[in-house]
């Protein structure tokens, strides 16, 4: 029985060549991005005063609102990637640039500010993982 199930799992010839295939790690990462975005956005939205008080540098109220907005937009971009839209990746990268500028403007050190780009690099690398059909998610994005 095990040989038959292994054979069925390895045989992808029944799939339509136009079907899109995403590795499970890619899906898991995108879902993690959405969950982290919801948590982060919630923190900025509902605990902004606490974040301001605990920050070594003063954070203007408008910056908290901007970070809340960026978090919500990033959730939308992750959903777009789940829906096979490349614009989601480019939007996420654009938000990282805006976040970098905000961090520098708010007085964060350069290394901390640059760490935001690490998320874009990780996302790009994960989108390169091949699915069962031998193509990466990046190749399927429209």
pLDDT by residue (tens digit) across 24-74? 999 999 999 999 999 999 999 999 989 888 887 788 899 999 999 999 999
Would you place residue 8 in the very low, low, confident or very high pLDDT band (cuts 50, 70, 90)? very low
Of 32, 26, 28, 29, the residue nearest 138 (C-alpha)? 26
Residues 76-95 as b or e (16 or more Cβ within 10 Å = b)? ebbebbbeeeeebbebbbeb
Asked whether the beta carbons of 15 and 131 are under 8 A apart, the reply is: no
pTM metric for this prediction: 0.83
How many other CB atoms sit within 10 Å of the CB of residue 133? 14
What pLDDT score does 105 carry? 86
Mean pLDDT of all residues in 97-106: 92
- Looking at residue 16, its pLDDT comes to 58
Q: How far is CA 131 from CA 48, 56, 94, 135, in A?
A: 40, 45, 27, 6
36 or 11, which is more confident?
36
Q: What is the pLDDT of residue 3?
A: 53
Predicted confidence at residue 74, as pLDDT, reads 97
């Amino acid at each position: 029985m095990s040989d038959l199930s292994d054979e069925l799992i390895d045989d992808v010839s029944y799939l339509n060549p136009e079907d899109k295939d995403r590795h499970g790690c890619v899906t898991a990462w995108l879902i993690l991005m959405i969950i982290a975005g919801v948590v982060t956005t919630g923190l900025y939205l509902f605990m902004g005063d606490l974040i301001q008080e605990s920050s070594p540098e003063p954070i203007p109220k408008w910056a908290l609102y901007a970070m809340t907005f960026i978090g919500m937009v990033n959730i939308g971009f992750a959903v777009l990637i789940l829906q096979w839209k490349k614009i989601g990746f480019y939007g996420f990268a654009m938000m990282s640039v805006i976040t970098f500028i905000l961090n520098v403007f708010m007085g964060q050190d350069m290394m901390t500010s640059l760490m935001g780009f690490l998320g874009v690099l990780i996302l790009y690398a994960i989108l390169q993982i091949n699915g069962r059909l031998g193509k990466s998610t990046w190749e399927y994005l429209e």
